[in-house]
Each structure stands twice: as structure tokens, then as C-alpha cells.
């Protein structure tokens, strides 16, 4: 009998739910740092004793061991009242950020992988987990096109912010068509697939609508990655940008030579979740930014700022009197099934 809990309020509930999902297998704890572990649709979910970030990262590296199976390491963050607790979540990306996610939100994320293949499930979890991080900007997911610091701190404190606020649509507009029209685009439906967003007759973006945002991570009917299909269409239509859209969510990709084929770099904005004091970020999708080069300049500035920051840190790092010695990585772990 498959056991499915109606709600998950803590990490024990979560792993009971994982155990009851179709196809779930025991991946084996290690009797110490990892107390429970389940393999679900190609992803290992491990429950760790430690909550300290440094210790969690060490456990993640030992447990994952350089293997091919993505690992999501979970630790309790504590309770948060009637709505249950929150979790500290590390992975599935190596050296990714430590996130804080509500237990039930994480449980619902895993439930939604039902019916997906392993690759689709892995891509979906990796893409969606950022959006659930309660300590990030609500409604904003930075997938390499810019940085968290740029959109959370540098841009709001810059001279650009007031202009972006004027460009952003009002709060009553959340659906992607309304947003793009309010931003000043003319939408032209293509005979086979998608829309062209034009401004002053010039193609600015190719738009691929999806029935839900989960399809951002799913292979299309031809077995192709959705971002690859989108960027190939951008090349055909000479569109410098591509947009995957679903409801209030818009994922922006650059199709210019500067990206060098990095199809996974994106910026995603959810107009229904962005708080009022951050709504100016929607102005980044306006023709004033995408058609006139302001967005490209902004991303370039962010790259230059990051390079200067790393350069300023490097000399200090070189003055360490003792060499850093890393422990050798553990070999690939064994996975057992029940």
C-alpha cells in the first residue's frame, strides 16, 4: 500500500511522504551524518543531522562523491507556527546556495514530479527550488543572467531604479500577454509556434508560451530541451531575446553572441509574486531595456563589478601563511533498494 500524507509539517513528515511515493527507493543512510535517504525519480534526498552550513557542505560533498546522481541534502530549520516548519536545503547543484524552504512547499514540489522521467524531474527540481527560497527576492529567480546582488541591492540603489519603476506595468497586470502589451510591445502570433514581440516594427523577443511553468524544464514533443528550441527559433527570426512564459511567470534568455551558447543562463520574473517595492524589476523586460541595449549593458556592468571584486579579494587570499589541504573525496556511494 502506498502511504501518502495530506500535509508535511516537519522533516520527518517529509521523508515519510517521500517513502510513500511511487518508485521511491531507500538510498541508505550512513549511520551518522545522513540518517535517512530516498531515491525518487533520479534524485537522492538525504536527511542530515547537522544544520551548520559548513558541515552540511562537507556532508554533501562526501555523500555525493562525484557521482552522477543529483543529491539534495535537507536539514531542519525549526518550526514556524501553525503552518509548519522550514528546511535548510543544499543541492542539487554543486556549490549552490543554501536555501530556506517551507516544508509543505518542498513536499508539494516533489509531488509535482509525479509522471516525469528522471531527466525532467532533475531539471524541474533544480529550476524550481530557487523560487521557493524564502530568503531571496520574492518572484525573482536568477539563473546566471545577472546576480542576486545586482537585483537585490545594486540596482535598487542606482539611478536606474526610478526609470525602471516608471517602465513597469501597474500591479493589476500579471498575465504575460497583458504585461508585454503594457510594456509597449506589439505581439504577432506565428503560424506554427509562439509569438514575436515587436517594438517600432523591430523584433525584440520570440515568446514561447507554456501551459504551466513546469514545462520550462520538460523536454518538448520532439525530445528537445525547451531553451534550445526557443533559442533556435530566436536565430531564425533574428530575435536577440527569448521568453518562456506561463501565466504570470516570464523567463528571459539572451540569444546574442555574447552568451556563447550558454542556454541555461536566464532571469525569471513572476509578476504575481513580486512585492510592490520590487515591481520596478519588471521594467527590465521593457523595450527601453531589451531593444535599446540597456539590459545588455547592465549585465556587462554586473560582470565587470564581479571581476573587480574577485580581483580585490585574490591578493588577500594569497597572503595566507598556511596552505589549505582538502580531504580527498569519498568514492562513489552504493545505493540500495527496497
The answer, as to whether pTM is greater than 0.85, is no
Q: Is residue 134 part of a domain?
A: no
Indicate whether 47 and 176 sit together in one domain.
no
pLDDT for residue 282: 97
109 domain-assigned = yes
Q: Which of 27-31, 183-187, 260-264, 321-325 has the lowest mean pLDDT?
A: 321-325
For residues 82 and 242, the model is more confident at 242
pLDDT at residue 135 in the model: 64
- Location of C-alpha cell 550558454: 262
**31 and 161 part of one domain:** no
The range of the structural domain enclosing residue 103 comes to: 11-117
CATH code of 216's domain: 3.90.1570
CA distances from 110 to 64, 78, 87, 229 (A): 20, 20, 14, 26
| 319 vs 316: CA distance, rounded Å | 5
CB atoms near residue 149 (< 10 Å)? 14
Cis status, amide bond into 92, omega within 30 of 0: yes
Q: What is the mean pLDDT of the chain?
A: 82
Same domain, 155 and 262: yes
**Same domain (yes/no): 191, 291:** yes
Q: Are residues 236 and 93 in the same domain?
A: no
Mean pLDDT, residues 9-22? 88
Within a domain: 202:
yes
Q: pLDDT at position 46, please? A: 93
CB neighbours of 276 closer than 8 A, spacing ≥ 6? 171
User: Is 57 in the same domain as 105?
Assistant: yes
Q: Which of 268, 284, 299 is the last residue of a domain?
A: 299
CATH number of the domain residue 43 falls in: 3.40.1350
Residue 181: inside a domain: yes
Task: Return the half-sphere exposure (C-beta side, CA atoms, 13 A cut-off) of residue 88.
Answer: 17
Amino acid at each position: 500500500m502506498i502511504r501518502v500524507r495530506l500535509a508535511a509539517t516537519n522533516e520527518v513528515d517529509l521523508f515519510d511522504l517521500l517513502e510513500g511515493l511511487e518508485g521511491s527507493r531507500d538510498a541508505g543512510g550512513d549511520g551518522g551524518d545522513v540518517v535517512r535517504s530516498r531515491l525518487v525519480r533520479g534524485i537522492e534526498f538525504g536527511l542530515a543531522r547537522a544544520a551548520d552550513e559548513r558541515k552540511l557542505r562537507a556532508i554533501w560533498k562526501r555523500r555525493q562523491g562525484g557521482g552522477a546522481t543529483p543529491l539534495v541534502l535537507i536539514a531542519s530549520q525549526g518550526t514556524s507556527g501553525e503552518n509548519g516548519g522550514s528546511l535548510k536545503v543544499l543541492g542539487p547543484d554543486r556549490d549552490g546556495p543554501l536555501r530556506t524552504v517551507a516544508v509543505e512547499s518542498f513536499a508539494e514540489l516533489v509531488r509535482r514530479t509525479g509522471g516525469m522521467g528522471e531527466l525532467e524531474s532533475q531539471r524541474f527540481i533544480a529550476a524550481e527550488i530557487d523560487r521557493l527560497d524564502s530568503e531571496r527576492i520574492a518572484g525573482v529567480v536568477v539563473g546566471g543572467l545577472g546576480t542576486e546582488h545586482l537585483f537585490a541591492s545594486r540596482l535598487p540603489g542606482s539611478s536606474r531604479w526610478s526609470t525602471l519603476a516608471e517602465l513597469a506595468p501597474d500591479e493589476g497586470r500579471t498575465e504575460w500577454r497583458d504585461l508585454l502589451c503594457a510594456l509597449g510591445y506589439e505581439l504577432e502570433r506565428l503560424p506554427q509556434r509562439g509569438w514575436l514581440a515587436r517594438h517600432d516594427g523591430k523584433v525584440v523577443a520570440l515568446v514561447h508560451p507554456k501551459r504551466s511553468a513546469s514545462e520550462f524544464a520538460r523536454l518538448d514533443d520532439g525530445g528537445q530541451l525547451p531553451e534550445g528550441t526557443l533559442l533556435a527559433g530566436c536565430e531564425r527570426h533574428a530575435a536577440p531575446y527569448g521568453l518562456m512564459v506561463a501565466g504570470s511567470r516570464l523567463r528571459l534568455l539572451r540569444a546574442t553572441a555574447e552568451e556563447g551558447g550558454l542556454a541555461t543562463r536566464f532571469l525569471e520574473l513572476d509578476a504575481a509574486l513580486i512585492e510592490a517595492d520590487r515591481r520596478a524589476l519588471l521594467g527590465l523586460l521593457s523595450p527601453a531595456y531589451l531593444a535599446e541595449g540597456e539590459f545588455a549593458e547592465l549585465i556587462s556592468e554586473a560582470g565587470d563589478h564581479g571581476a573587480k571584486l574577485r580581483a580585490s579579494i585574490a591578493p588577500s587570499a594569497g597572503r595566507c601563511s598556511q596552505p589549505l589541504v582538502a580531504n580527498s573525496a569519498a568514492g562513489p556511494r552504493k545505493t540500495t533498494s527496497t
